[in-house]
Structure 1
Amino acid sequence: MDFIEVTLKVNADFADILTAELGELGFDAFVETEDGFSAYIEENQYSQEALEEVLSRYADFVQVEYTVQKIARQNWNEEWERNFEPLFIGEQVSVRASFHPKPEQAKYDIVINPKMSFGTGHHETTTLMIENQLSLDHQDKRVLDMGCGTGILAIMAGELGASEIVAVEIEDWTVENARENAALNNYSSIDVRLGGAETIEEEKPFDIILANINRNVLLEDMPAYKAVLQPRGWLVLSGFYTEDLPMIQQRAQELGLAYVSHRVKNNWVSAIFQES
């Protein structure tokens, strides 16, 4: 059976939404691109009509351009290799797929098979979050990764020495993928949970909380993060633009979280706050 590749050019704010929608249509592999993502489905399951119906629901909110092509099954690995290039972050972290060779010069080596989940490190927000993680002491710390996607940030926390890691996602297929990637990197002990902020209510405090989601969810859920953050603990956020930073800072200040620093890449931001 051959595959159908649908490559969508879409605003990053809607990429997660469309990924979930296409997942419902039977697409079972997604790869981030510079301006959107590519989605894959077996040819006998593909429906052009169903794809257009999904995209039409969002026509009033976002402009989506897409292309469709058939890929022979024997070229499947070539497609993954073409779309998912290994990369280095912060001159220390290698992020690669399982079919890439392990680099000798990497201090930290993370293997990610993304399937339907975002978080390969190629998106600016993931890169920025990892760069911020490298600046924080994770050794023997309790870490929470909200909106964990592939689980890459939770795995990074393990690489940096975290003793206990909880990861949370709202989609069951993403939870499954995060668990698979955690096991692939020898971190099966990561507690990957299905749900949202409600899953961390009455949790023991965390030393570091990571949340790479989007502005609106962050603004809504920051009180929940604050409630389970250790005194002097770190909150690392991303998924928003430079113009949104003042709003995030204001919300943090209202909650008693002190702004520490932020990084910017292509107008995306990752900011660090600390419990006072």
Structure 2
Amino acid sequence: MPWLQLKIDSSAEQAEQIGNMLSANGAQAVTFVDAKDTPMYEPKPGEVMLWPDTQVVGLFDASDDMPSIINNLQKAKVLGKDFNYRLEPLEDKDWEREWMENFHPMQFGSRLWICPSWREVPDPDAVNVMLDPGLAFGTGTHPTTALCLKWLDGIDVEDKVVVDFGCGSGILALAALKLGAKKVIGIDIDPQALQASMENASRNNVADRLKVYLPDDQPSLKADIVMANILSGPLIELQDTITDYCKKGGSLVLSGILAEQIAKIEAAYAKDITLDPSVIEGEWARVSGIKI
């Protein structure tokens, strides 16, 4: 199906109102795009953060009556008769198939491979995690996940109890299980993430060793290894909770951290963790250590 994109430059204050107007006029989807390459790293849970110069993009069916839609928008006070817009065709593609074709097997460390569930594994003798992310975060392509996977590949996971705090697609939990972990507890605020984790666990024949929970239902336990690949704000706010999952002498790894945020994370965790040297990949970082 061919599509049209209606692009309107806006301010952060007006963007949501314009987005609602586009939806009311038949837009199939509305997205907010940074119009001037302004960094915006960390919205809090439930918070919508927009750039000072925000572009609002409405996606319309090419058969829609765009002159009538634009005329409707011109009548709105927030835009006015002479508002600037661009109407552009969007290439008709099977976007899901295109994404699938560009998700390739990836190696992390010496033993571990993350493989799309629809592709052949390149090394049958390796530790292969078969992954279909679904709607949850985590394919291994983002540096934060890659940093954690490389760390996991480099430690002894055999027969360990592991907590994956913010499990997303379950990629870190599955990697730990395929590397020999006895049991993994996955925790996430998103029910779709828990569903994706369990589906991927079944795909990898390790569902019997993975248990997933929403934060309010999470059990009390002490784990040998605790992983939290989220964002620096929640890492700091939830420091006591995350650290408390780790038993004395256990290992802890944190990611989702920008390089310039390392000092804050280390300051928050140093009272409970003997810290390893932090590792940086691009603009992202990993912090790890041993529970005191």
Give the TM interval when normalised to the shorter protein: 0.7 to 0.9
In structure 1, C-alpha distance between the alignment counterparts of 2:164 and 2:158, rounded to whole Å: 16
Note if contact 2:117-2:130 (Cα within 8 Å) is conserved in structure 1.
Answer: yes
Equivalent residue number for residue 215 of structure 1: 232
Note if contact 1:94-1:106 (Cα within 8 Å) is conserved in structure 2.
Answer: no
Residue 206 of structure 1: how far off its partner (Å) = 0.5
Identity percentage of aligned residues: 26
Note if contact 2:117-2:132 (Cα within 8 Å) is conserved in structure 1.
Answer: yes
Residue by residue, what CA displacement relative to the aligned partner does 1:123-175 show, whole Å, maximum 9, x if unpaired?
Answer: 00110001111222111111000111110000011012111110011111111
- Secondary structure, counterpart of 2:135 in structure 1: coil
Residue by residue, what CA displacement relative to the aligned partner does 1:203-254 show, whole Å, maximum 9, x if unpaired?
Answer: 1211100000000000011101222211101110000111111111111123
Residue 262 of structure 1: how far off its partner (Å) = 2.4
1:229 paired to 2:246: yes
Judged with a 3 Å threshold, the aligned counterparts in structure 2 of structure 1 residues 230 and 83 are, in CA distance, closer, same or farther, namely: same
AA partner of residue 266 (structure 1): G
TM-score, length-scaled by structure 2: 0.70
- Secondary structure, counterpart of 2:278 in structure 1: strand
Aligned-residue Cα RMSD (Å) equals 3.0
Equivalent residue number for residue 38 of structure 1: none
Residue 63 of structure 1: how far off its partner (Å) = 5.6
Within 5 Å, which residues of 2 pair with 1:4-15? none
Equivalent residue number for residue 182 of structure 1: 201
Judged with a 3 Å threshold, the aligned counterparts in structure 2 of structure 1 residues 215 and 48 are, in CA distance, closer, same or farther, namely: same
In structure 1, C-alpha distance between the alignment counterparts of 2:234 and 2:282, rounded to whole Å: 21
Note if contact 1:147-1:170 (Cα within 8 Å) is conserved in structure 2.
Answer: yes
1:141 paired to 2:160: yes
- Secondary structure, counterpart of 2:276 in structure 1: strand
1:51 paired to 2:30: yes
Structure 2 residues not aligned, in runs of 5+: 6-25, 36-47, 60-89
Structure 1 residues not aligned, in runs of 5+: 7-46
- Secondary structure, counterpart of 1:51 in structure 2: strand
TM-score, length-scaled by structure 1: 0.73
1:272 paired to 2:270: no
Within 5 Å, which residues of 2 pair with 1:165-204? 165-189=184-208, 190-195=210-215, 198-200=216-218, 203-204=220-221
1:109 paired to 2:128: yes
Judged with a 3 Å threshold, the aligned counterparts in structure 2 of structure 1 residues 58 and 251 are, in CA distance, closer, same or farther, namely: closer
Note if contact 2:163-2:245 (Cα within 8 Å) is conserved in structure 1.
Answer: no
